[in-house]
A and B are shown apart, each in its own frame.
Chain A
Amino acid sequence: MPAESPVLLHVDRLTVEFPGVRALDGVHFDVRAGEVHALVGENGAGKSTLLKVLGGLHRPAAGEIRLGERRYRPRRPADALHAGIAVIYQEFNLYPDLTVAENVFSGREPYHRLTRGIDYAELNRRTAQLFGTLGVHLDPARTVGSLTVSEQQLVEIAKALSVDGRIIVMDEPTAALSADEVTRLLDVVRRLRAEGRGVVYVSHRLDEVFAVADRVTVLRDGRHVHTGDLAETSQEDLVRLMVGRDVSAATRRTGAVRDDVVLDLDQVSAGRQLREVSLRVRAGEIVGIGGVAGAGQPELSQVVFGALGVDTGAMTLDGRTYRPSTPADAMAAGVGFLHEDRKSSGILPDLSVRDNLTVSVLHRVRAALTRLLSPAAQTAVFAEHRQRLAIRATGPGQLIGQLSGGNQQKVLFGRALAPGGRLLVLNEPTRGVDIGAKMEIHQLIDEVTAAGTAVLMISSDLPELLGVSDRVYVLAAGRIVGHLTGDDRTEENVIACATTGRRVFSEVAA
């Protein structure tokens, strides 16, 4: 029983300050042996800061951390490892060029005393043994760069076990995993708990939190808001605690799907990732694409946006042949695009909010006579988008990197609308965005469809995929294996199509 287990980690009145910001303000938190303690909160609530303090990357300004009875003051990542705290950050810390075993035991490789050479037999044996305790099989000699994301996640977990991590901290471990990979991961987490370890589980996905965690701590604006047993907490309570106000989960639709087909893919194949995909998106319609990670979703979106070439098959846009060879072609045809990875492939971090909004439509903010960029026209674009998208920025000149994740996403949404809003290709439109911004973005999607825009939305967030889309296609290994409309749009159907080879095609009038 977790309630009677010893407290492994105790965080007391922890305060962390950055120049001009107090990221954590007197936060307390504890983890017991054999429990999974979820840590939730909106972006900017301070979860990542807390993890980085535990991992020895940030130093607190005040407060103390105890491990059992001993005071714990990590000054560098190595201190955390020695103390038995293993933090698995959202950005993996793996060497793609090295083997699985070399990654797992990095810095602690067994070696011959005499020759100083690494003992590879022993290294691989120990690594295989660790994977054995996790109940998975992974060849220790494989290069990490050749692994899938979920396999890399397992390498990170094995690494945490290899230092005999009594406390294992996971930051959004499922953000890039597919549904079945999530299930497998949660099994591993339960196994860690059964061994008496303490697991800190940070996630935006509340269904996972309820599935795996024993207790939950909610942070808001750097402050501790709530700690309690999950058995006594409802999902609605949790959301209210995180947001600080009541929210309704239901997504409303204001517009109606129109008859005219905007995008039509006919037997489109591209590379090894996309095979004979046929689908249609109508004006005012939101079509969702689901499936396990690596089933071809980014490829599908990039084919439509001209970032990936079509090998065979045909596309039409508004009934005309559509063969974009670059993203510029696609934008010229009125297609907007939102990348799934905001940080690396979305924002232009050194540019202002205004410049981020106008960058793909620079021809529209030029003075007629001189053909030079007009500051006034650019600022007008900014003002219009700020109003429409409710972007919270201090002004047009603020660097986009200084905005919160949700506001960055809204700016990028504005950029995607800029080409004209005939068709929007949205990849994971609310990934890594807090609940408040998520609802605002869903409302925006609803608005643009009401105005006649067609939306192709890829999402690995099942409630979003099913709640926002009118119809859902399911991809598996680059093929469409399901088409769900009406009451067929259930989580069970999506998962079954994506993972079991079952095919479900709803009856629809074409």
Chain B
Amino acid sequence: MTTTDTRTAAPEPVLADRAERPSLGRLWDTWGITAILLLLLALTPLVAPGFLQLENLQSVLRESAYLGIVAAGMTFAIAAGAFDLSVGGQLALVSVVTLLAYGAGGTPAAVGAAIATGLACGLVNAGLITKLRVPPFVATLGTLFVFRGVAYILTQDGPQTLPYDQIGSPFVKIGGLNVAGVPLPFVIMLVVYAAAWVLLRRTATGRRVLAYGSSPAAARFCGISAGRIQLFVFALVGLSVGIAALTYITRVWTADGSAQDGFELKVIAAVVLGGTSLKGGKATLIGTFSAVLLVSVLNDVLVGQGVPSAYQRIVLGCVLIVALTVDGLRTRFAVPGSLRRAVAGLAGRSTDPDSA
């Protein structure tokens, strides 16, 4: 850049760089959910003494992997101001296709099929959204049913399962192996989060995703192509489902069109709970990561206490509403003067004490 300094002095003194201390609000945005997770971890052994046993901890981590990996992808979609409702259908379809491929070509075919099918699902969504200009939430609501439907078609003769005699194959070991005591699926999840963090914070593409999510109209005039961003985030969600399916299917061993009903809700709940705003432009992978573990630990405790799955659904739904309420309040508080109104609105009355 050519900088010709014709100005002899700035018209007014520029403020010195104040040491930038992140405000409490911004700290909470990133680390709040992690703090709650740590608190929960400290309290859980009091309620569920068996929680701290190694096998149980390993099981929680193994269980959290597929949710966590998809949530990492979804964080990008939500950061771009969109979300993908079809992840449940994608997971069912990818799992079924992966099992079919494993039957046909063994481990390499299964891994390849998982990644390729996940990406293909993501590209179908992206195509609908960018080429046919269907709003993302409705497009993915439609493809949720389409992907599940295709999975049903592929399993018309009954669910696809891994034969028990395959327990020694490398593919099946993805779900069962421990690396120095840490379950392999969780290791994969850690790697995915590290890569996702670099992608979001240290690459031009990640920055453009955030810029687009913050203001699509302004991003256009920064040379950012809306189509490319949407293509990228939906393909990324598909890819994350592909990776997640590898850890999922080698854990549950069976899949059909109804696999993981309601998965999209869990994923979106984890991302929002983590502190990524549904409005786009703001994202925290650390938050998502902690929220995934939080949901998994809660789940483990509920199952351990013998709570039926119907009630678990109710708890999950309520947790999501609370998380979204907090998200909404955070946004409202960010607008000056809205605090009192928001509180008044919640209390259902006026803040003006002597109002007629």
A392-B2 contact, Cβ under 8 Å, with A347-B218, A351-B214, A397-B20: no
Residue picked from A23, A59, A398, most chain B C-beta under 10 Å: A59
Bits for B282-320, please: 1 = Cβ < 8 Å to A, else 0: 100000000000000000000000000000000000000
Contact present for A348 and B218 (CB under 8 Å): yes
The interface residues of chain B, by DSSP majority, are classed as loop
* A1 contacts partner chain B, Cβ-Cβ < 8 Å: no
Other-chain contact of A360, B203, B223, B277 (Cβ < 8 Å):
B223
Binds B, one of A272-280, A413-421, A468-476: A413-421
A373-B202 contact, Cβ under 8 Å, with A19-B336, A388-B5, A394-B20: yes
A59-B14 contact, Cβ under 8 Å, with A327-B223, A328-B225: no
* A451 contacts partner chain B, Cβ-Cβ < 8 Å: yes
Contact present for B14 and A391 (CB under 8 Å): yes
* A73 contacts partner chain B, Cβ-Cβ < 8 Å: yes
Contact present for B6 and A254 (CB under 8 Å): yes
Other-chain contact of A347, B213, B215, B223, B339 (Cβ < 8 Å):
B215
Size category of the binding interface on chain B: 35 or more
Residues 1 to 22 of chain B near chain A (Cβ within 8 Å): 1-7, 10-12, 14-15, 17-18, 20, 22
Residues in B with CB closer than 8 Å to A451 are 2, 4, 6
A450-B214 contact, Cβ under 8 Å, with A328-B223, A392-B15, A421-B1: no
Contact present for B3 and A388 (CB under 8 Å): yes
Residues in B with CB closer than 8 Å to A359 are 207-208, 211, 219, 222, 224
* B220 contacts partner chain A, Cβ-Cβ < 8 Å: yes
A-B contact count (CB 8 A): 142
Q: Which residue of B lies closest to A373 (CB)?
A: B202
Q: Quote the shortest CB–CB distance from B242 to chain A (angstroms).
A: 25
Q: Which residue of A lies closest to B350 (CB)?
A: A75
Q: Quote the shortest CB–CB distance from A157 to chain B (angstroms).
A: 27
* B340 contacts partner chain A, Cβ-Cβ < 8 Å: yes
Other-chain contact of B352, A73, A305, A348, A360 (Cβ < 8 Å):
A73
* A21 contacts partner chain B, Cβ-Cβ < 8 Å: yes
Q: Which residue of A lies closest to B5 (CB)?
A: A388
Contact present for B211 and A348 (CB under 8 Å): yes
Binds B, one of A179-187, A337-345, A502-510: A337-345
Other-chain contact of A372, B5, B203, B351 (Cβ < 8 Å):
B203
A341, B341: Cα distance in complex, Å? 29
Contact present for B221 and A327 (CB under 8 Å): yes
Residues in A with CB closer than 8 Å to B5 are 388
Contact present for B10 and A418 (CB under 8 Å): no
Q: Which residue of A lies closest to B281 (CB)?
A: A350
A390, B207: Cα distance in complex, Å? 25
Number of interface residues of A (CB under 8 A): 61
Q: Quote the shortest CB–CB distance from A192 to chain B (angstroms).
A: 30
A394-B15 contact, Cβ under 8 Å, with A350-B213, A351-B211: yes
Residues in B with CB closer than 8 Å to A337 are 221
Residues in A with CB closer than 8 Å to B336 are 18-19, 21, 23
* B337 contacts partner chain A, Cβ-Cβ < 8 Å: yes
Residues in B with CB closer than 8 Å to A384 are 3
Other-chain contact of B222, A349, A350, A360, A388 (Cβ < 8 Å):
A360
* A206 contacts partner chain B, Cβ-Cβ < 8 Å: no
Q: Quote the shortest CB–CB distance from B221 to chain A (angstroms).
A: 5
Contact present for B352 and A373 (CB under 8 Å): no
* B210 contacts partner chain A, Cβ-Cβ < 8 Å: yes
Contact present for A348 and B219 (CB under 8 Å): yes
Contact present for A355 and B215 (CB under 8 Å): no
* B180 contacts partner chain A, Cβ-Cβ < 8 Å: no
Q: Quote the shortest CB–CB distance from B14 to chain A (angstroms).
A: 6
Q: Which residue of A lies closest to B1 (CB)?
A: A420
A345, B220: Cα distance in complex, Å? 8
Q: Quote the shortest CB–CB distance from B269 to chain A (angstroms).
A: 22
Other-chain contact of A387, B14, B202, B211 (Cβ < 8 Å):
B14
Residues in A with CB closer than 8 Å to B2 are 420-421, 451-452
A selection of 27 A-B contacts at a CB cut-off of 8 Å is: A19-B337, A21-B336, A58-B337, A59-B351, A75-B350, A75-B355, A327-B221, A344-B217, A347-B218, A348-B222, A350-B210, A350-B280, A350-B282, A355-B211, A359-B207, A359-B219, A359-B222, A387-B10, A388-B5, A393-B15, A396-B20, A415-B222, A443-B11, A447-B4, A447-B6, A450-B4, A451-B4
Q: What residues make up the interface of B, taking CB atoms closer than 8 Å to A?
A: 1-7, 10-12, 14-15, 17-18, 20, 22, 198, 201-204, 207-208, 210-211, 213-215, 217-225, 277, 280-282, 336-337, 339-340, 350-352, 355-356
